[in-house]
Structure 1
Amino acid sequence: MRQIILDTETTGLEAHLGHRIIEFAGLEMVNRKLTGRYLHLYMHPERQIDPDAERVHGISLDFLADKPKFAQVADELAAFLRDAELIIHNAPFDLGFLNAEFDRVGLPRANALCNGVIDTLAMARDLFPGKRNNLDALCDRFEIDRANRVFHGALIDCELLAEVYLAMTRGQDSLAMDIDMETPRQDALTGLAFERKPLRVLPASEAELAEHAAYLDTLDKAAKGACIWRSLAPADPTEGSA
């Protein structure tokens, strides 16, 4: 399956009030692995940037002075998104801006171009109700390094969101999970050599085990019997955790 992890930065918060996209970033992932293909664009918004927005992303109108307008990159962006499943944190926000931009140039909306949308914010709220679920909080929760994140940049956020998505869907805990621990490899996006450190295994705490047991009780009630997990789980709940 082809997926695009994407993020945008904008001149403000309301697409319906004429705010525009000034940065787009998307990373291509196929079968849960980054392919190394990505699209990163800066665009001149043809309007002022709200000061509050600029303080968040650090992008000034002076920086964008020589950048293309959205209409000049719209076809390239649409081709990149076409037929992919989109992975977005707070999807209604980014889709609202993308759809408004595509409307201006007479192209199909992002929802029509893509093959479905996964909103990782909605996913996180289901997994962690009542907790902070912004990207920073999720990175902290899954122990994802965000040391290089100075501004709220779209490309950096895509890299972090890829890690968060894989962690939340439990297919693998890192983009580098399948890499030989002994052999240096290259990062799929940057091409820089890196060496995978051994993964740290954290056993569940007593509180987490109790919360898990309570959740299984709700499954038992819904199934009107013992859920399948209880038949698979070891008698000792800490077995295999260290």
Structure 2
Amino acid sequence: MKVRELRKSGNEYPVNLDDVFPLLYSQRGKAVSHLRENFIENEDYLIISQTGKNTKGRNKSDYFLSVSAMEFFVAKKVKEVFAVYREVFHKTLDEAENVQPLSEIDLLVKSALALQAQERRLTVVEEKVNTLIEDKSRSMKMLTEIPFSLETGISTPELSLREKIRLLVNRISAATSTPQHDIWNNIYQTLYYNYGISIKSYKKEKKNESLLDVAERKCFLDKMFSIASKLVTEKIVA
């Protein structure tokens, strides 16, 4: 804000080098050398000789910087980077100062529009929640309408034991929003802990043979069906 005040002061060279060089240099001479090497006299800074004031027999000169030169000076030699800062910083402040205060009516209209937008967003969220609830309800209903007995697995002749297991996994996933991959892992882990069967330990006969293919080949589907059926019962009770 101090820089802002200097910029608006109307003084072309409002900053005395003596006030800013201690920020970067331990000696004034180094600051002067940097200024002379990197900035243009009578454009970025002004030299004013102080007659009667001397140091070691020489007249002392005061260096007065423009606001932009002072900003670049503080940034030392990274002028390209600091140029971006100055452009954005001052543009933002200029825009902020040019914004006219809203009247009471404008404020009321703006508030009303904001409330309407918020209400629309809440309506959309509510509709999405209702849809999720309806989908969940349908999925749970499907879970209770398994087209075969969970105890015997008896159903239409064309539905194999493998297909029954896949159908149970699919419906458990839909009803509980659980990835099917996690349900299959649950079944295989239970198969191992309850029956001592590790499907992954069996060598595949074909390159693309799945774990379910291995289980079917080794005649473990009845046990997997029992595990999946129990999962369905647990989810319905829950």
Give the TM-score band, short-chain normalised: under 0.3
TM-score (norm 2): 0.22
Point out the structure with the larger helix share.
Answer: 2
TM-score (norm 1): 0.22
Q: With a CA cutoff of 8 Å and minimum separation of 6, indicate the structure with the bigger relative contact order.
A: 1
Point out the structure with the larger strand share.
Answer: 1
